[in-house]
Amino acid sequence: MRILITGTTGYIAKRLVMNLLSEKHELICCVRDLNRIPDEIESKEGIEFIKVDFLDTEDVVFPNNIDVAYYLIHSMTATGDDFEELEKQCAENFKNLIEETTCNQVIYLSGIVNDESLSKHLKSRLAVENTLKSDSYDLTTFRAGIIVGSGSASFEIIRDIVEKLPVMVAPRWLNTRTQPLAIRDVLRFLQRAAGKEEVRNQSFDICGPEILTYKQMLYQFGEVRGLKRYILTLPVLTPRLSSYWLYFVTSTSFNLAKALVDSMKVEVIAKPSQINEILNVKPMPYKEAVRFAFQKIEQNSVISSWKDAISSGVFHDQLSDHIQVPNHGCFKDVRSKIVKDETYTLNRIWSIGGKNGWYGFNLLWRIRGYLDKLFGGVGLRRGRRHDTNLEAGDPLDFWRVLLADKKQKRLLLFAEMKLPGEAWLEFKIIDNTLFQRAVFRPKGLWGRLYWYMVLPFHAFVFKGMINSLTKK
């Protein structure tokens, strides 16, 4: 089949693309930024990419010969009063484009919406589902609750909580019930629905076999990891305090913490259906899903992560808008050093951050990360997706990878920390010389004061970094 996929760089779609390619389908992948096409799929046969911003589709035309389309656009990190309207507008623009093609089925992954008091994000997903309905094609909607897999937001947040806190004083929403579903099973539902007559123009709740509270999920996660944990729930923690608790304990952003707390207050129990039998899917229990997730982590083969989403939200500017490092009106720290072994230095550069640290004065980097968290930033806890591999769009502590090209011997990072301005960090090897450049474009007087406040630390932090990268 010829299949169109939206949200290609997202957590679900990135994995789905790999699976569909293995089944020899022809894929058309929509991306907002052509510079963020994942390396592992860019060179595959049977795939093409088109640039689409679904908030601005005036000059966009989909290829005509399409059989099935997946609508997988959603961001838990997006905020603002107009968030629901923006999501609805994306869905409307997608619908208008796909109706001009031969597509006869659209598959949409939504959230379980059976509770009367829906969260803002679940209300938005229901509105998107209604918007996508059309007389031109059949709509298949799968509604899932908590998704468990390496790199998923729920998995990584529970992992942070369980592995860091032997004793937890937690909010009362830990007693809310849900039905967690393994990412492997989500992908099976999505794949097997393509072209299936029995699921056309219908919606199905998809879920794992167990109904668990979030507290039970924490305990079971601890059992898998061999960790004994104690949890005390308090009714006095307000949603806002709960959001701060989640934000400071885990690697999540504050926007995502707020969205998750809002959703976690709602019971997510699936309506019974025959979808498991129709598509021949037998969802695995929660503990088995956790074990599979850790297998991927131990093999260093996590394909996608919730952290891949740009921290400012899905509706903001593209990474490629920042790839040209400015020269005017900027402060710079530029250093160079002869490289004894280019391969060694490149490997060191490509392994920077995460558990490897920043090759010197890591305490100062951690303090900067704590300060960033304190002011609502992403902090250092995001780490990195892979220990030794980097590609455009990857999160790297409180940086975002703009360019990672080993052939050009160049790595370019853009700061996602809270700053009174914009910052870039670049590593480039030319003629056996490593050039390390930190560039800061200040915003207003406070931006300039900030640069001079941190300038004394640059003298030894950046010097130590380049020395460590070149010293063998």
Q: What is the pLDDT along the chain (472 residues), one digit of tens a residue?
A: 999 999 888 888 888 998 998 888 999 999 887 777 766 677 678 889 998 888 888 888 898 899 999 999 876 555 555 677 888 889 999 999 999 999 999 999 998 877 666 666 777 888 888 999 999 999 999 999 889 988 777 788 888 888 888 888 777 778 888 999 999 999 999 999 999 999 999 999 999 999 999 899 999 999 999 999 898 887 766 667 767 777 777 766 666 676 666 667 678 889 999 999 999 999 999 999 999 888 877 655 455 554 555 443 333 455 556 677 888 889 999 999 999 899 999 999 999 988 888 988 888 888 888 888 777 777 776 677 778 888 887 888 888 888 888 889 999 999 888 889 989 999 999 999 999 999 998 988 999 999 999 998 888 899 999 999 998 7
* Whole-number Å distance between alpha carbons of 344 and 427: 14
Return the pLDDT at 319. 58
Q: Token pair for residue 370?
A: 């704590």
* Whole-number Å distance between alpha carbons of 420 and 223: 44
* Whole-number Å distance between alpha carbons of 80 and 264: 19
Residue type, position 257, single letter:
A
Q: What is the DSSP string of 426-447?
A: EEEEETTEEEEEEEEEE-HHHH
pTM, rounded to two decimals: 0.74
User: Distance of CA 5 to CAs 29, 75, 452, Å?
Assistant: 5, 16, 47
Q: What is the DSSP string of 210-258?
A: --EEHHHHHHHHHHHHT---EEEEETT--HHHHHHHHHHHSS--HHHHH
- Check: CB of residue 222 under 8 Å from CB of residue 160: no
**Span 423-436, pLDDT tens digits:** 999 999 999 999 99
Residue type, position 358, single letter:
W
> Measuring CA to CA, which residue among 23, 21, 12, 24 is closest to residue 41?
21
- Alpha helices, DSSP H only, in 306-392? 342-350, 362-374
Return the pLDDT at 175. 85
Strands 421-430 and 410-415: antiparallel
Q: What is the DSSP letter of 291?
A: H
Q: What is the DSSP string of 117-184?
A: S--HHHHHHHHHHHHH--SSSEEEEEEE--EESTT-HHHHHHHHHHHH-SEEEEEGGGG-EE--EEHH
Give CA angle at 308 (28, 86), nearest 5°. 70
Cα-atom radius of gyration of the chain, to the nearest Å? 23
For the chain, the straight-line distance linking the first and the last C-alpha, in angstroms and rounded, comes to 52
Q: What is the DSSP letter of 78?
A: -
Return the pLDDT at 316. 46
Name residue 47's beta-bridge partners. 27
- Check: CB of residue 323 under 8 Å from CB of residue 412: yes
Task: Identify the three-state secondary structure at position 190.
Answer: helix
Strand ranges for 352-409 from DSSP E: 395-396, 399-405
- Check: CB of residue 301 under 8 Å from CB of residue 157: no
